[in-house]
Amino acid sequence: MADDQDIKEPIDEDALAAEWAAMAGEDDDGQNGDGQNGDGEAPAEGDEDAALAGQTGRALSQDEIDSLLGFDAIDAGGNSQTGIRSIINSSLVSYGRLPMLEIVFDRLVRLLSTSMRNFTSDNVEVTLDNITSIRFGEYLNSIPLPAILAVFRAEQWDNYGLLTVESNLIYSIVDVLLGGRKGTTPMRIEGRPYTTIERNLVERMVQVVLKDMKTAFDPLTPVDFNFDRLEVNPRFATIARDANAAILVRLRVDMEDRGGRIELVLPYATIEPVRELLLQMFMGEKFGRDTIWESHLATELWSTEVQIDAVLDEQMMNLGDVMDFKVGQTIMLNCGPDSPIDLKCGSMSMLRGRMGRMGNTVSVKVEQSLMKAKRGGDRQ
């Protein structure tokens, strides 16, 4: 019997070891060492993704990152901004708050179309692309070179503006004014500086634009735009700090098969003197004027009750003496029965008269208005 037990012991230990190994091979989710679940089936792929998503956050795609930062919402004109970029640029004032500005530049487009036709003796069409708000430093960095930048001064506003003429329009103007044939593309030589003739012709065109700008602003406010200088390096045409906001106006000049773009930049500091005028919804609008409200306010003011004090005399006394006043004490006044009495509303002397009695009531007979006398003294 003892021998039989000794023979069976090793067999039981092997079975127990195998059972332990099987139990140790299974994971916490019911999967065994072969990658199968407790039912002997392989786990589904969705279950693995769900388990991975529960352990680590999902990575954002490039489109989602661009949408968050606001880079994919910017159109060609740079009008629409979302995400973090819109928060950064939230300090920019939208030109939409200056409705009169668009009317002024619409008038400029009509004037400039006629002036450019007379200047070039060609069929010229000028159109307004858009009006946007931009930081001055961003605009300087976005100018496509080569270009000519004209700096001008608004005399009445005591500040500067910038007018940029793109290379396509420069070569087109030179070609038209010097008798180039129609239908031929102007010849461009990249990398060379603009000649004196080209700069002089562009300066003449800039003078035409500035003259029409003055005419466009005349119904709103008189202002003279005087040409200051021409620059080809944007850094030499800096008229405001990089972080300052500015109004950017893009004009398109088409001369049949040739043309280009003119960009006008007015920093907000330049148009600040006429900001109230640019806020008008229409020409001649009066701010804060409502005749119905004015008449109602005047009626209510005439029926308002105010307190009038009849002052017999005023004396300067120490605060200690005033605090020692007793009931029944007599105060001597420097006035008599016929002395003039001032009628005051608060601290303002309005009327002057003499004291009397009407029945059992003390009265004051008004003899002089101090308000008229004071206004007459102010005029003198």
User: For the segment 26-42, what is each residue's pLDDT rounded down to a tens digit?
Assistant: 544 444 444 444 444 54
pLDDT of residue 16: 62
Contact 120, 176 (CB under 8 A): yes
**What is the rounded average pLDDT for all residues in the chain?**
76
Dist. CA 380–CA 377, nearest whole Å: 5
Give the pLDDT of residue 290: 65
Type of residue at 330: T
Domain count, the chain: 2
Write down the pLDDT at residue 170: 87
Give the mean model confidence (pLDDT) for residues 344-359.
Answer: 83
- Domain residue limits at 231: 95-183+193-278
As beta bridge partners, residue 7 has: none
Claim to verify: residue 155 and residue 220 sit in the same structural domain: yes
Using the predicted structure, report yes or no on whether residue 373 has a pLDDT greater than 60.
no
Q: Could you tell me if residue 251 is inside a domain?
A: yes
Structure tokens at 293: 């409200």
Contact (CB, 8 A) for 242 and 137:
yes
Give the lowest-confidence range in 14-18, 106-110, 226-230, 362-366. Answer: 14-18
Q: Tell whether 73 is covered by a domain.
A: no
Residues 239 and 372 in one domain: no
pLDDT-based confidence at 210, cuts 50/70/90?
very high
DSSP 349: E
Mean pLDDT, residues 333-339 taken together: 77
| pLDDT of the residue at 161 | 92
Residue 70 included in any domain = no
Percent of the chain topping pLDDT 90? 12
What's the gap between Cα 235 and its chain centre? 24
Lowest mean pLDDT among 25-29, 136-140, 168-172, 321-325: 25-29
Strand partners, 333: none
| Predicted confidence band of residue 226 (pLDDT cuts 50, 70, 90) | very high
pLDDT of 4 over the 90 cut:
no
CA distance 249 to 132: 7
pLDDT tens figures, 51-95: 444 455 667 777 777 666 655 544 444 445 555 665 555 555 555
Q: Is 207 a residue whose pLDDT tops 90?
A: yes
Q: Which of 132, 129, 140 is nearest to 94 (CA)?
A: 132
Q: Residue 22 contacts by C-beta under 8 Å, 6 or more apart in sequence?
A: 32
Alpha helices (runs of H) in the chain, residue ranges in sequence order: 2-25, 45-55, 62-69, 83-88, 99-120, 136-142, 167-177, 196-217, 268-271, 275-278, 291-302, 319-323, 370-379
* Position 81 in a domain: no
Is 172 part of any domain?
Answer: yes
Q: Is residue 18 part of a domain?
A: no
**Structure confidence at residue 30 (pLDDT):** 47
The answer as to whether 45 is a domain residue is no
Least confident of 29-43, 59-73, 143-157, 325-339: 29-43
Domain match, 108 and 222 both: yes
372 and 325 share a domain? yes
* Lowest mean pLDDT across 4-13, 58-67, 309-318, 324-333: 4-13
Tell me what the mean pLDDT of segment 229-239 comes to: 87
E-assigned strands of 202-284? 225-231, 245-255, 258-267
CA distance 267 to 133: 9
Q: Does the pLDDT of residue 100 top 90, yes or no? A: no
The answer to whether residues 243 and 205 belong to one domain is yes
How far is CA 95 from its chain centroid? 7
pLDDT at 15 over 80: no
Cis peptide before 193 (omega within 30 of 0): no
pLDDT at 351: 85
Report CA Rg, the chain: 43
Render pLDDT for 235-271 as a digit per residue (tens, 0 to 9). Answer: 888 888 888 888 899 999 988 778 889 999 999 888 8
- The residue among 9 and 97 whose pLDDT is bigger is 97
Burial of 289 (0-12, 13-18, 19+ CB in 10 A): exposed
Mean pLDDT on 329-336: 80
CATH number at residue 337: 2.30.330.10
Same domain, 262 and 142: yes
Q: What is the pLDDT of residue 151?
A: 92
Cα 253 to Cα 124: distance, rounded to the nearest angstrom: 7
- Domain identity same for 262 and 311: no
pLDDT at position 7: 47
| Whole-number pLDDT of residue 28 | 45
Q: Is this model's pTM higher than 0.85 or not? A: no
Q: Is the pLDDT of residue 13 over 80?
A: no
**Crossing angle of helices 196-217 and 99-120, rounded to 10°:** 140
Residue 280 to residue 103: CA distance in whole angstroms? 10
> What's the whole-number mean pLDDT along residues 100-113?
89
Whole-number pLDDT of residue 347: 80
Q: What pLDDT sits at residue 150? A: 92
User: Of 69 and 139, which is predicted with more confidence?
Assistant: 139
Residue 380's pLDDT is: 45
For 195, half-sphere exposure in the C-beta direction (CA atoms, 13 angstrom radius) is 8
Q: Are residues 240 and 365 in the same domain?
A: no
What's the pLDDT score for residue 376? 53
Cα–Cα distance list, 334 to 9, 177, 194, 344, 368 (Å): 134, 92, 90, 18, 21
223 located within any domain: yes
